[in-house]
């Protein structure tokens, strides 16, 4: 049956039925999830694999689509799976997602996916898009989007591939929707954890449901001493020679982290509301080791969303939603270069957004989603004061963005479904930028015109169900991603061609994806000749182009009801078509392994991920010779990260005990150098961490 068949359309909008769907229906953009009333321990683990293709999710197209009808490669993580493997943070969860890897530079986390890293994934929480991650003239870390207590997560939907048609700019390589308000499905719970590296977590969830709505409150806190390691083991000889007496000799105590998160999600009748606040305070590394407590950064974000939905008939529905958000990043207690140095940097921006969506089912074989979105971004400001060295304020004038989009699905036959969609984004006429330098007493204004204001993205797909157990998907799509460089108005562009094959049986499933990504308008360095000195110098340019070919293979096998085995392999090769130089931060091979065994109230689990060797970034060298390239650090080796989890869950009273170990073998993990943490030998990653958690579900 089509996901837009009249019977299902009526079912989607009928209030009581929505409150009793077996799987939590994820909201559209800005729409909180209605809680499901499934049994507390219902889970994909107990669902035959052959039924997985019939599962419905919402994030892929702002409507309830079965996985077989989604024009993308999809991964679902449930509450029970997260509990079985005991992942302690959202970051650890993402490290174990097929095809994903995460890099650390102490200030930020960069999510790698399909040959590229950083900025390419749009994050949603209960269908609400999080604050835009790339803003002109700002350098705000993206790590704030990972500040989600893992205990609050009921479900994670990961949709790979360009998603700009549905979600606009910055849904470049996919969408991750995190559901945290399925109170009817998973109930209330509290937990507390203690672990090595002075780590600890507390979390509480309370909520209630009724025939007319629900209320959920999640609150959590987390702390850790973070990474450790001697600088002598990360720096090269030349770097060590530049250190001055009094600087710290190791990271110990300089990379601690404190997280807070609180959210309220509620629904009543046709209305939904979400409030979310997060705060992260942590130590960062700024160019050199510190002298005292080290440089610190505080990130705060808040989101407020309100939405309304109504079905006017069995074939016509309307949704209206609005969201307001603000993000602030404050770098304070600056501690580098000199013990006498002091200063801070403050960045902020606000986002106001309104969207109207029309859902129309004109024929049993046709379904249409059409919408308009208006986004207003204001208050973009970047102020830095560092003693007598820097005293500047950079601002970008308020920006407005209009979007029109539509996607049409047609069931061309019993087994064939065709999908096509377009999005037209009307960009600002120009970016007005001002820079005030109070030390120099100057005010600089720049007007950067937008050369092509009408940005068009699209996707088409053919989905062929060979039978109930097999589906083939052929997909082509484009997307755009904003550049934070003020001098470049053109966004990065991606065009993806993908072939997906999924095969399911009662005890196993196999998914294969072949993809080709072409990314253009990448900001890179190029060489130009200086005719006055007759030498070469490097400048920034946005003519970069990458081409990635890749294979994603995922298999799951359940040889016995209590035993599960998962394996995923990702091979990817990225070519820099402008320079021919191997791009940095792009491993060729990723492997993920998981196995778990349930025996009575106990669950035993092992998991591991492998990341292949990586090069750091590079730049051209100024001088008399052309084409001379210098890496900012050494190539880092591949690594395995093996973890284990032992979980006890009382069969009747909801009490739980969890023993979790990450990096069980204490393997050496290194992240390649980047501009901020330019350690020649790479930043040393996390060692073995042991965590004990007590919890109660009620």
Q: pLDDT digits over 282-293, tens only?
A: 999 988 999 998
Task: For residue range 365-408, list pLDDT tens digits in order.
Answer: 999 999 999 999 999 999 999 998 999 999 999 999 999 999 99
Query: For residues 204 and 224, what is the distance between their CA atoms, to the nearest angstrom?
Result: 19
Record the tokens describing residue 523, joined without a space: 């900001």
pLDDT band for 337, please (50, 70, 90 cuts): confident
Task: For residue range 472-484, list pLDDT tens digits in order.
Answer: 999 999 999 888 8
Provide the CA 183 distance to its chain's centre, in angstroms. 24
Task: For residue range 85-134, list pLDDT tens digits in order.
Answer: 999 999 999 999 999 999 999 999 999 999 888 778 999 999 999 998 88
Q: Where are the beta strands (DSSP E) in 169-295?
A: 174-179, 189-195, 199-209, 213-224, 257-268, 271-283
In a domain, residue 580? The reply is: yes
More confident position, 398 or 68: 398
Instruction: Report which DSSP code applies to 634.
Output: P
Q: What is the DSSP string of 604-632?
A: EEEEEEEE--B---EEEPPBSSSS-EEES
Among 567, 674, 583, CA closest to 110: 674
Confidence at residue 619, expressed as pLDDT on a 0 to 100 scale:
87
- Using CB atoms within 10 A of its CB, is residue 441 exposed (0-12), middle (13-18) or buried (19+)? exposed
231 pLDDT higher than 80: yes
Q: What whole-number percentage of the chain has pLDDT above 90?
A: 74
Query: For residues 312 and 460, what is the distance between their CA atoms, to the nearest angstrom?
Result: 29
Confidence at residue 585, expressed as pLDDT on a 0 to 100 scale:
96
Q: How far is CA 407 from CA 87, 127, 459, in A?
A: 37, 18, 9
Task: For residue range 8-40, list pLDDT tens digits in order.
Answer: 333 333 333 332 323 332 332 233 333 333 333
**What integer is the mean pLDDT of 175-187?**
91
Among 421, 312, 445, CA closest to 369: 421
Confidence at residue 73, expressed as pLDDT on a 0 to 100 scale:
86
Confidence at residue 28, expressed as pLDDT on a 0 to 100 scale:
29
**What integer is the mean pLDDT of 515-526?**
90
Beta bridge partner(s), residue 696: 190, 655
Task: For residue range 655-667, list pLDDT tens digits in order.
Answer: 999 999 999 999 9
47 pLDDT higher than 60: no
258 pLDDT higher than 90: yes
41 pLDDT higher than 70: no
Q: Is the pTM of this model over 0.85?
A: yes
Confidence at residue 8, expressed as pLDDT on a 0 to 100 scale:
36
What's the mean per-residue pLDDT of the chain? Answer: 89
Confidence at residue 532, expressed as pLDDT on a 0 to 100 scale:
83
Query: For residues 327 and 200, what is the distance between their CA atoms, to the nearest angstrom?
Result: 26
Q: How far is CA 641 from CA 157, 606, 663, 671, in A?
A: 24, 11, 5, 13
Would you say 672 and 103 are in contact if contact means Cβ atoms under 8 Å apart? yes
Q: Which domain holds residue 34?
A: 6-697
pLDDT band for 65, please (50, 70, 90 cuts): low
Task: For residue range 440-456, list pLDDT tens digits in order.
Answer: 999 999 998 998 899 99
Q: What is the DSSP string of 15-71?
A: HHHHTT-SS-B--STT-PPBPP---TT--GGGS-GGGGGG-EESTTTTS-EEGGGSS
β-pairing, 174-179 vs 121-125, is parallel
Confidence at residue 34, expressed as pLDDT on a 0 to 100 scale:
34
Confidence at residue 57, expressed as pLDDT on a 0 to 100 scale:
66
Confidence at residue 7, expressed as pLDDT on a 0 to 100 scale:
38
pLDDT band for 48, please (50, 70, 90 cuts): low
Would you say 378 and 390 are in contact if contact means Cβ atoms under 8 Å apart? no
Q: What whole-number percentage of the chain has pLDDT above 70?
A: 91
**What integer is the mean pLDDT of 245-263?**
95
Helices (H), 14-130: 15-18, 79-85, 90-95
Confidence at residue 54, expressed as pLDDT on a 0 to 100 scale:
61
In a domain, residue 91? The reply is: yes
Would you say 286 and 336 are in contact if contact means Cβ atoms under 8 Å apart? yes
Q: How many CB atoms lie within 10 A of CB 241?
A: 8
In a domain, residue 1? The reply is: no
Query: For residues 105 and 139, what is the distance between their CA atoms, to the nearest angstrom?
Result: 14
In a domain, residue 686? The reply is: yes
SS3 499: strand
Of 143-157, 158-172, 402-416, the least confident: 158-172
Record the tokens describing residue 490, joined without a space: 């053109």
50-74 burial: b if 16+ Cβ within 10 Å, else e: bebbebbbbbbbbbbbbbbbbbbbb
Confidence at residue 61, expressed as pLDDT on a 0 to 100 scale:
56
Q: What is the DSSP string of 378-430?
A: EEEEEEEEETTTEEEEEEE--EEEEEEEEEEEEE-SSSEEEEEEEEEEE--SE
Confidence at residue 21, expressed as pLDDT on a 0 to 100 scale:
28
Q: How many CB atoms lie within 10 A of CB 19?
A: 20
601 pLDDT higher than 70: yes
**What integer is the mean pLDDT of 550-560?**
96
Confidence at residue 324, expressed as pLDDT on a 0 to 100 scale:
98
Among 124, 133, 126, CA closest to 167: 124
Number of structural domains in the chain = 1
Q: How far is CA 351 from CA 108, 250, 260, in A?
A: 22, 39, 22
pLDDT band for 46, please (50, 70, 90 cuts): low
Query: Which CATH number fits the domain that encloses residue 370?
Result: 2.40.170.20
Would you say 695 and 190 are in contact if contact means Cβ atoms under 8 Å apart? yes
pLDDT band for 208, please (50, 70, 90 cuts): very high
In a domain, residue 436? The reply is: yes
pLDDT band for 176, please (50, 70, 90 cuts): very high
Beta bridge partner(s), residue 528: 537
**What integer is the mean pLDDT of 570-587?**
94
């Amino acid at each position: 049956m089509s996901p837009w068949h009249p019977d299902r359309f009526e079912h989607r909008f009928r209030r009581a039925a929505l409150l009793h769907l077996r799987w939590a229906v994820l909201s559209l953009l800005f729409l909180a999830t209605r809680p499901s009333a499934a049994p507390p321990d219902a889970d994909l683990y107990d669902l035959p694999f052959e039924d997985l293709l019939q599962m419905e999710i919402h994030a892929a197209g702002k409507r309830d689509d079965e996985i077989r009808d989604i024009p993308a490669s999809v991964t679902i993580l449930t509450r029970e799976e997260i509990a079985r493997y005991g992942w302690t943070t959202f970051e650890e969860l993402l490290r174990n997602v097929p095809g994903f890897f995460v890099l650390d530079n102490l200030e930020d986390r960069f999510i790698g996916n399909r040959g590229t890293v950083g900025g390419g994934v749009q994050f949603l929480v209960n269908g609400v898009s999080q604050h835009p991650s790339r803003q002109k003239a700002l350098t705000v870390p993206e790590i704030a989007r990972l500040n989600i207590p893992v205990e609050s997560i009921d479900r994670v939907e990961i949709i790979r591939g360009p998603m700009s048609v549905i979600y606009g700019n910055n849904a470049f390589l996919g969408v991750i929707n995190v559901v945290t308000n399925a109170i009817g499905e998973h109930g209330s719970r509290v937990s507390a954890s203690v672990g090595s590296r002075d780590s600890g977590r507390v979390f509480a969830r309370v909520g209630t449901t009724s025939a007319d709505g629900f209320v959920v409150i999640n609150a959590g806190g987390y702390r850790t001493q973070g990474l450790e390691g001697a600088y002598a083991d990360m720096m090269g000889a030349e770097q060590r020679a530049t250190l001055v007496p009094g600087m710290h000799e190791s990271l110990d105590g300089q990379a601690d982290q404190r997280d807070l998160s609180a959210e309220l999600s509620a629904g009543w009748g046709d209305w939904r509301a979400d409030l979310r606040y997060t705060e992260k305070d942590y130590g960062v590394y700024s160019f050199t080791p510190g002298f005292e407590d080290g440089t610190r950064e505080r990130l705060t974000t808040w989101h407020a969303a309100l939405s309304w939905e109504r079905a006017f008939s069995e074939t016509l529905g309307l949704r209206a939603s609005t969201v307001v958000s603000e993000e602030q990043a404050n770098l304070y207690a600056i501690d580098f270069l000199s013990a006498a140095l002091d200063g801070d940097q403050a960045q902020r921006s606000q986002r106001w957004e309104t969207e109207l969506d029309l859902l129309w089912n004109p024929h049993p074989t046709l379904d249409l989603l059409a919408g308009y979105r208006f986004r207003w971004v204001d208050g973009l400001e970047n102020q830095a004061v560092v003693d007598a060295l820097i005293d500047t304020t950079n601002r970008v004038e308020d920006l407005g963005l209009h979007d029109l989009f539509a996607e049409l699905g047609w069931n061309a036959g019993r087994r064939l479904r065709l999908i096509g969609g377009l999005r037209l984004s009307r960009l600002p006429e120009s970016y007005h930028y001002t820079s005030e330098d109070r030390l120099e007493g100057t005010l600089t204004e720049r007007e950067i015109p937008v050369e092509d204001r009408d940005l068009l993205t699209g996707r088409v797909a053919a989905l062929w169900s060979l039978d109930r157990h097999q589906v083939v998907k052929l997909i082509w799509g484009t997307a755009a991603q904003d550049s934070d460089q003020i001098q470049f108005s053109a966004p990065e562009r991606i065009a993806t061609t993908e072939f997906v094959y999924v095969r399911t049986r009662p005890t196993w499933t196999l998914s294969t994806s072949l993809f080709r990504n072409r990314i253009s308008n990448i900001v890179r360095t190029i060489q130009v000749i200086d005719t006055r000195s007759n030498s070469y110098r490097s400048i920034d340019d946005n003519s970069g182009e990458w081409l990635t070919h890749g294979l994603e293979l995922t298999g799951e096998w359940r040889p016995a009801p209590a035993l599960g085995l998962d394996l995923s392999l990702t091979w990817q090769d990225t070519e820099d078509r402008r320079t021919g130089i191997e791009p940095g931060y792009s491993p060729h091979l990723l492997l993920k392994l998981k196995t778990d065994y349930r025996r009575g109230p106990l669950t035993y689990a092992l998991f591991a991920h492998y990341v292949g060797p990586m090069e750091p970034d590079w730049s051209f060298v100024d001088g008399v010779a052309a084409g001379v390239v210098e890496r900012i650090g050494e190539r880092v080796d591949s690594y395995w990260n093996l973890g284990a989890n032992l979980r006890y869950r009382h069969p009747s009273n909801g009490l739980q005990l969890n023993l979790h170990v990450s990096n069980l073998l204490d393997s050496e993990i290194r992240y390649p150098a980047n501009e901020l943490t330019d350690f020649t030998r790479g930043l040393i990653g996390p060692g073995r961490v042991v965590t004990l958690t007590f919890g109660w579900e009620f």
